[in-house]
Amino acid sequence: MEKEVVIITGGAGYIGGTTAERFARSGKQVIIFDINRERVEEVASRIGAKGMVVNITDYREVTAAVEQVIAEFGKVDILVNAAGGSARSRMKRFADQDMEVIRDVIDMNLYGCLNCTRAIIPSMISRKSGVIVNISSAVALGGIAGCVDYGASKGAIIAATKGLAIELGQDNIRVNCVCPGKVQRPAEQPADPHAFAYKHSYLNYIATADDVADLVEFLASSKARYITGQNYVIDGGRSLGLRGDVNRTDS
């Protein structure tokens, strides 16, 4: 059977890399678009994928990379928009934040996703087949201090997912979104894992990239063939709100 062709942006990172490995193991042809040259080559050769150094904020660079993929593999069946992140070390209260940082965050998260989607969907439309999974964030649902730009860009991805699903359903293209809460990297183990899990989840642990990859894999598969335009929150229930206390008598 013909191999499915998957492009994963940010595939050199934690969630993207884990998802890329999952797809490669299940026999798909995986292509990673990532700006980190060293990591993209390392991950691609480890999992048997094709690694391409692509800055997804540059639409021309993205279209050239997509053309190269289609010339080599003939099609793109699945796009996973996983590249992104907050301002990290440059994070500040919005009132003090530099406009340059705000633009960078929105560029990477929102325009990165839109650029890749815009460059790939014409080929999906002409084949009347395709699946897109966008990685947003639970920050888009509730907001968080220091991440106004990030939350805004991730919220826009949820909205774009819905509009795209409406436009592309007639072409047999499904578009869904995933909103992870805190995802625990193996290298970032907290001093008190129980307290950390209590803070970030209503389950007794913090998600790993594998938990997110399970959901992405499902949404990209034919098992999700009737699902489009949806946003899936994967945060151990954290976005439900206050935990409450059954022993309290004052509320």
Ligand X SMILES: NC(=O)c1ccc[n+]([C@@H]2O[C@H](COP(=O)([O-])OP(=O)(O)OC[C@H]3O[C@@H](n4cnc5c(N)ncnc54)[C@H](O)[C@@H]3O)[C@@H](O)[C@H]2O)c1
Give the binding site for ligand X (CB under 6 A).
Answer: 9-10, 12-16, 33-36, 39, 54-57, 82-85, 108, 112, 135, 137, 180, 182-183
**Of 112 and 155, which has the nearer Cβ to ligand X?**
112
Q: How far is the CB of 125 from ligand X (least distance, A)?
A: 24
**Of 24 and 108, which has the nearer Cβ to ligand X?**
108
| Active-site residue set | 150
Q: What DSSP element (H or E) covers 248?
A: none
Give the residue from 56, 36, 153 showing the smallest Cα distance to 106.
153
Residues in the chain: 251
Q: How far is the CB of 12 from ligand X (least distance, A)?
A: 4
Q: How far is the CB of 139 from ligand X (least distance, A)?
A: 7
23 touches 8 (CB < 8 A): yes
Q: How far is the CB of 4 from ligand X (least distance, A)?
A: 22
Burial of 40 (0-12, 13-18, 19+ CB in 10 A): buried
**Of 82 and 165, which has the nearer Cβ to ligand X?**
82
**Of 62 and 173, which has the nearer Cβ to ligand X?**
62
Query: What residues have CB less than 8 Å from 122, skipping those under 6 apart?
Result: none
What token pair was written down for 161? 């997912």
φ and ψ of 53, to 5 deg:
-80, 110
Which of helix, strand or coil describes residue 167? helix
